[in-house]
A and B are shown apart, each in its own frame.
With several copies, the nearest count.
Chain A
């Protein structure tokens, strides 16, 4: 794997981490409206997968979407502005944390409905097939959402039609407060691939290079018209389900234990061992991103709020004759 790519994988993970650490702080200090689900601890997945994608490829994201969108290349300032509910945000303040889109980067939306992205990804794959482009779509989803009917209908459809869709499960062991093994009848979500006649791959979701390789293979298959793949990334959510979660459902010890497997720390150590970068270079990466975060906050704070009446735009493309009350 080339060194440039390795450094970029690190950068992407750090970008997500530092962005979210700040978001957590801001949220706790009461600056941000809405609610926020953090991706901290799972950065290797979005980073590994999106680094294997082209800009014109698509992704669908989830309620825990900051990481996906940033990894696909989104601007931090417009994301931050969206979390602030500002007019300069990606969705002009209409979406918020759970609904971030960047259509130019092929981000077909985070989604407040768990499992809402499965069939949208099928449609993106269908477009690619009908238009004979070589684009693929990655659908990120949680372990918990694999119990939704949309998972089944979509994987079957994508498989039956041989569509270029890659289903990436972020198995962080919990659906909100519910341990996944208590509600899910298989040990591995990847075991479900058999039910659709597609490959099911399990990777260490805290190992960014492993994720990257699995994604690369699946994306290649998809581009070659060989159909969908289900990749299960085993990971862990270090923070609560949402910022403010009392976390009654798991022990501090468990979290501590899993924290030791932090994908970023681990990767940095590996890069040192392989002599890919020095402490100084890593510090430089962090410093650069810290700056990006500061600039993003400045941008967000300095941006205008939407006008109240802005609420009445952006619903219909063809607004002629539409009334709102």
Chain B
């Protein structure tokens, strides 16, 4: 095990995968000379040359489409989208071409490519550089979506994504690039589709991912110490396909569900998880399903307002307390 940050962990994954498979290459803006705006590609061009670590024009549409063309013809591109916000510029390529091409061809072709897209809040980057858009892509058949919360998962999931024969959207929270953690030595993979139970608990299940995992764990510690409430925290890691098994089994145990993400609450992935549960195992619930997510506004520039619209540790703590007060038991007894 070695300690490293998320940017370094993904860099290791890139290096290992590029060493192992000559067809893996990277396409994006400011990745070769700069090493990526978050340092996540630092030195990669020195190792593999500017032919394999390609600085592109500011042409996200063509970057994404060219990535697809390369994937169809035998390469395994990793496409860096700079900020997930800019997928808006390449949405047709992402959702109408990449996601659909295998199906439309009747299974003749495959599109083994990874789209890396830094998302989330960082340093008051404001409305056009701060979004979390996973819900759009989970709603798009043909994509797989993963997002790590720590360096080990970052490495293992990126390696899995690169080896996957289907297009994978790899979302990496900008505020996590510098987050440190222990990473196992040697080759390892985090399989796509497997969530992780990162904290055991019996009272409430919190389902979360990416940056909100650490906040949920923090809240869980507080609730344990202050209230004796034991939270089970599940880090989804893969957003499509969801690991239904782990989700349902935890709910069957706790009877209480909260979903926490940084993305906007309305229409966010939390809705899907909540609805899945309300459809498939509602009878195990002992109270309402609570979702915490960004308020329904674009991200404001001012740090004060930015903070206000984003769920924080306190919101989780208070949400859980309220949830338990509103549980059916209490409703019935009061």
Which A residues have a C-beta under 8 Å from some C-beta of B? Answer: 33-35, 58, 60, 82, 85-86, 89-96, 98-99, 101-103, 108-109, 111-116, 118-128, 130-131, 137, 144-145, 147-150, 153-154, 156-157, 160, 175-178, 182-184, 248-249, 305-318, 320-325
Beta-carbon nearest neighbor of B73 in chain A: A127
Residues in chain B near residue A178, CB distance under 8 A: 29-30, 33, 55, 57
Chain B CB within 10 Å, residue with most, of A116, A182, A311: A311
Q: Is the CB of B74 within 8 A of A127?
A: yes
Query: CB of B4 within 8 A of chain A?
Result: no
Cβ proximity bits B82-96 to A, threshold 8 Å, 1 near / 0 not: 000110110011001
In contact, A123 and B67 (Cβ under 8 angstroms): yes
Near A by CB (< 8 A), chain B positions 108-125 give 108-110, 112, 123-125
Tell whether, in the assembled complex, residue B308 and residue A309 are in contact, meaning their CB atoms are under 8 Å apart: yes
A85 touching B69, Cβ below 8 Å: no
Task: Give A171 Cβ to nearest chain B Cβ, in Å.
Answer: 14
Q: Which 7 A-B residue pairs are closest in the complex by CB-CB distance?
A: A123-B69, A119-B65, A96-B301, A314-B107, A112-B128, A308-B308, A91-B106
Task: Give the A-B pair count, Cβ closer than 8 A.
Answer: 292
Set A58, A108, A144: member contacting B58, Cβ < 8 A: A144
Check if A113 sits within 8 Å of B106, measured CB to CB: no
Number of interface residues of B (CB under 8 A): 83
Pick from A127, A131, A157 the residue with the most CB of B within 10 Å.
A127
The answer to whether B25 and A113 touch across the interface, beta carbons within 8 angstroms, is no
Cβ A176 vs Cβ B74 within 8 A: no
| A91 adjacent to B304 (CB under 8 Å) | no
Option from B58, B69, B103, B193 in Cβ contact (under 8 Å) with A119: B69
B330 part of interface (Cβ distance < 8 Å): no
Contacts of A137 in B (CB 8 A): 69
Q: A127-B75, A308-B304, A324-B296 are in contact. Are A249 and B103 (CB under 8 A)?
A: no
With beta carbons under 8 angstroms apart, the residue of A33, A176, A308 that contacts B301 is A33
* A315 & B29 in contact (Cβ 8 Å cutoff): no
Q: Which residues of A contact B52 (CB under 8 A)?
A: 130
Known: A120-B69, A308-B305, A314-B102. A177 touches B34 (CB 8 A): yes
CB-CB contacts of B22-55 with A at 8 A, as 1s and 0s? 0001000110011001000000000000011001
**A317's contact among B56, B72, B102, by CB below 8 Å, is which?**
B102
**Candidate in A86, A93, A131, A305 with the most chain B CB atoms within 10 angstroms:** A93
Assembled-state Cα–Cα distance A60/B66 (Å): 12
A19 to chain B, nearest CB (A): 18
Given known A-B contacts A315-B102, A323-B244, A120 and B66 have beta carbons under 8 A apart: yes
- Contact at A311–B297, with CB atoms within 8 Å? yes
Question: Cβ of B62 < 8 Å from any Cβ of A?
Answer: yes
B112, closest chain A residue (CB) = A317
B104 at the interface (CB under 8 A from A): yes
Task: Determine the chain B residues whose CB is within 8 A of the CB of A306 once the complex forms.
Answer: 300, 302, 304-305
List the B residue with the shortest CB-CB distance to A85: B302
Given A93-B302, A119-B65, A123-B65, list of 9 further CB < 8 A pairs? A101-B106, A109-B105, A122-B69, A123-B66, A175-B29, A177-B33, A311-B305, A314-B105, A321-B241
B124–A314 CB distance below 8 A: no
Q: A248-B33, A306-B305, A314-B102 are in contact. Are A157 and B66 (CB under 8 A)?
A: yes
Whether B61 contacts A91 by the Cβ 8 Å rule is no
Other-chain residue from B70, B164, B297 in contact with A124 (beta carbon distance below 8 A): B70
Name, among A85, A125, A144, the residue most crowded by chain B CB atoms within 10 Å (CB to CB).
Answer: A85
Q: CA of A312 to CA of B309 in the docked complex: distance in angstroms?
A: 9
Docked complex Cα distance between A317 and B73 (Å): 16
Whether the Cβ atoms of A85 and B124 lie closer than 8 Å is yes
Tell me, in angstroms, the Cα distance from A96 to B103 when the chains sit together. 12
- Give every chain B residue within 8 A of A116 (Cβ-Cβ): 65, 92-93, 96-97
B129 an interface residue at 8 Å Cβ cutoff?
A: yes
Can you sample 15 A-B contacts with CB below 8 Å? A96-B124, A99-B105, A101-B108, A109-B105, A113-B96, A119-B64, A126-B70, A127-B74, A130-B51, A176-B37, A182-B55, A183-B58, A306-B300, A306-B302, A311-B309
> Which residues of the other chain, A, contact B144 by a CB distance below 8 angstroms?
316
Chain B residues within an 8 Å CB radius of A96:
124, 126, 301-302
B73 touches A123 (CB 8 A): yes
The residues of A that contact B228 with a CB separation of less than 8 Å are: none
In this assembly, does B303 line the interface, its C-beta being within 8 Å of a C-beta of chain A? yes
